[in-house]
Amino acid sequence: MLKQRIRVHDPIRAIGSWVERSSGSVMAANKLDEYIDTVAMALALPVEEGWRPAVKANLEVSLKLARLVDEFALPDETEPASVYSA
């Protein structure tokens, strides 16, 4: 289990490598649970059991949206806007 492999002094690197290994396909439900547990432990952020379904649903939506952004092809000549305004 991933939680056992995280070193307290380097949680970000452990999480980053886990995310890299999990990318490329939609994470299974048990992988999301493991990811939530791992990130919560790394950040010393307790997640109450009552909130787990909401956290998991939010993560699922975020991953789907991130995939849409990642898969959107931009022309090579696309550059960032020089001025941002709302």
- The reply to whether 19 falls in a domain is yes
Asked if residue 78 is part of any domain, the answer here is no
Residue 37 lies in a domain: yes
Residue 21 lies in a domain: yes
pTM: 0.56
Q: Is 38 within a domain?
A: yes
Q: Is residue 23 part of a domain?
A: yes
| More confident site: 11 or 65 | 65
pLDDT digits (tens, 9 = 90+) for 10-62: 545 555 555 555 554 455 668 899 999 999 999 999 999 999 999 999 999 99
- Write out the residue range of the structural domain in which residue 35 sits: 1-45
Alpha helix ranges (H) inside 1-72: 2-5, 11-22, 29-42, 52-71
* Number of domains within the chain: 1
